[in-house]
Amino acid sequence: MGEDSRPGRSASRASPPEDNRRRWRHHFDSDAELSGRSSDEEYERRRRRRRGEEAPNSPPVFGNDGKDDAKEKEDDGDDDDDDTNERKKPRAKVLFGVDANGNNLNAFPETENLPELPKAKPTFELSSLLRQEANANERGTFIDYDEPEDKCAPERYGLRLRLYTFKGDEEIEKPISLANKSRYIFGRDRDAVDIPTDHPSCSKQHAVLQFRNQRKTDVYGETKDDVAGYLYDNGSTNKTKLNGKVIEAKKYYRLKGSDCVQFGSSTREYVVMDESLADKKK
């Protein structure tokens, strides 16, 4: 390395190699302008720092003679001292079942008399889309009614039933056989119902005649079939009458012999009878 020949410089101080000075000249010049040092001094300072000859906390490089940076470092040191003091503070011991004052927390008198919440029960009901598909009739129309699990067709148990329609004392329509289906829908929607009721006061799916087999066990432990027809109002607007009395919606009513059923404000009466009994009356 050659000696620095510029005036005012020590002859013993070495200058950086010429190729390195050219390579890093733009860096040194910019830093020197901000720090007030020459590019040679800046290069020498960085070289000594890399070799460990200059302490890391040497005077800062950038403007204001390093006052702002020195103040920031001083503040950082204070924060570190605060953190150290916080870590040195003893922490209170936490014991299970005991509060900070040493009181026992095993008993909670305010919660002893609270009622138990009911356990959630699983639901096996069909979703809306599956219900629409499962409750579609042979014409593809959705039936807004879900049959019970004990549904049955009367024909399977040897029952031959008919539905008779009267207006006053006069039979106005041919009897309808009720044999091969477990439920029959009454209403104005002819695409959905099995037995249409065209009166304006009737709903689209007004009521249901549902056949059910509620098996019973006798005193000897034998299970016997108990097949019967049940009347069910399907949430109609103008209600359903059984023997002249309005029945409650969404509830099953067991039909007996010669029971009369009316829908809405219609004067027609519907009667479910066994074929054998009807033939004897004739």
**Do the domain assignments include residue 273?**
yes
CA–CA separation, 258 and 242 (whole Å): 11
Q: Are 184 and 251 members of one domain?
A: yes
Classify the phi-psi angles of 65: left when phi > 0, otherwise alpha if psi is within -120 to 50, otherwise beta.
left
CATH code at position 219:
2.60.200.20
pLDDT tens per residue across span 88-108: 666 655 555 666 676 666 555
CA–CA separation, 210 and 181 (whole Å): 9
E strand or H helix that includes residue 273: strand 269-274
Residue 214 sits at φ, ψ, to 5 deg, of -95, 90
pLDDT tens per residue across span 26-68: 555 555 555 555 667 777 877 777 776 655 555 554 445 555 5
**Do the domain assignments include residue 248?**
yes
Alpha-carbon Rg of the chain, whole angstroms?
Answer: 49
**Do the domain assignments include residue 200?**
yes
pLDDT band at 246 (very low <50, low <70, confident <90, very high): very high
Higher pLDDT, 209 or 180: 209
Last-in-domain residue among 41, 70, 87:
87
**Do the domain assignments include residue 4?**
no
pLDDT tens per residue across span 113-151: 667 777 777 766 656 677 677 778 777 888 889 999 999
- Per DSSP, the three-state class of 231 is strand
Beta bridge partners of 270: 165, 261
- Per DSSP, the three-state class of 139 is coil
Q: Are 151 and 83 members of one domain?
A: no
Chain centre to alpha carbon of residue 206? 34
Domain that holds residue 56: 18-87
Q: Give the pLDDT score at 262.
A: 96
Q: Are 78 and 153 members of one domain?
A: no
Last-in-domain residue among 69, 87, 105:
87
**Do the domain assignments include residue 137?**
no
Q: Give the pLDDT score at 11.
A: 47
CA–CA separation, 83 and 71 (whole Å): 19
Beta bridge partners of 212: 151, 228
C-beta separation of 213 from 278 below 8 A: no
C-beta separation of 194 from 184 below 8 A: yes
**Do the domain assignments include residue 95?**
no
Closest CA to 187 of 209, 206, 201, 173: 206
Q: Are 79 and 162 members of one domain?
A: no
Q: Share the mean pLDDT of the chain.
A: 76
Q: Give the pLDDT score at 110.
A: 57
**Do the domain assignments include residue 93?**
no
CA–CA separation, 155 and 132 (whole Å): 27
**Do the domain assignments include residue 207?**
yes
Beta bridge partners of 246: 241
Return the structure tokens found at 113: 């008399």
Task: Say how many domains are in the chain.
Answer: 2
Q: Are 258 and 169 members of one domain?
A: yes
Return the structure tokens found at 238: 């103008």
Return the structure tokens found at 22: 């050219």
Q: Are 159 and 236 members of one domain?
A: yes
Q: Are 152 and 276 members of one domain?
A: yes
Q: Are 171 and 266 members of one domain?
A: yes
Q: Are 64 and 151 members of one domain?
A: no
74 pLDDT higher than 60: no
pLDDT band at 152 (very low <50, low <70, confident <90, very high): very high
Last-in-domain residue among 70, 87, 104:
87
Q: Are 183 and 66 members of one domain?
A: no
Return the structure tokens found at 191: 């695409």
